[in-house]
């Protein structure tokens, strides 16, 4: 069964606007971590933000915030004030218990000028 689901293969956003990238996950383990990575066309994976399952508040890192809705098992990434350099693939990932990290299929974000 798919552990991480990203339902948006591609997204477009106008420069300076906010965009939400969806991620849902499946786990029965009460302890898990959720991650978002950015992959530009150059290929490297850049860590953006982390949310622990026991964290009470949504994680934020600069223009990135994670909308964590535990009951719905969703961990959407919100990028505020989009910039042209935000155009990239974005991967949601989860690590539960002693398991390996699982990645979603990714969402390609294109920021329009």
Partner 1 sequence: EADIYQTPRYLVIGTGKKITLECSQTMGHDKMYWYQQDPGMELHLIHYSYGVNSTEKGDLSSESTVSRIRTEHFPLTLESARPSHTSQYLCASSDLQETQYFGPGTRLLVL
Tell which positions 9-28 bind partner 1, by CB under 8 A.
none
Please tell me whether residue 1 binds partner 1 under the rule CB under 8 A: no
Nearer to partner 1, 12 or 47 (CB): 47
> Site for partner 1 (CB under 8 A): which residue of 20, 50, 58, 74?
50
Contact 8, 104 (CB under 8 A): no
Please tell me whether residue 56 binds partner 1 under the rule CB under 8 A: no
Q: How far apart are CA 1 and CA 21, in angstroms?
A: 21
């Amino acid at each position: 069964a798919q552990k991480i689901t990203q339902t948006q293969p591609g997204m477009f956003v106008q420069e300076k606007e906010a965009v939400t990238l969806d991620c849902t996950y499946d786990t029965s383990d009460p302890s898990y971590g959720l991650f978002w990575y950015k992959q530009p066309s150059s290929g490297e994976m850049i860590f953006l933000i982390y949310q622990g399952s026991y964290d009470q508040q949504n994680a934020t890192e600069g223009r990135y915030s994670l909308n964590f809705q535990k009951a719905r098992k969703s961990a959407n990434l919100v990028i505020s004030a989009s910039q042209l350099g935000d155009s990239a693939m974005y991967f949601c990932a989860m690590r539960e218990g002693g398991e390996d990290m699982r990645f979603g299929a990714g969402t390609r974000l294109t920021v329009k000028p």
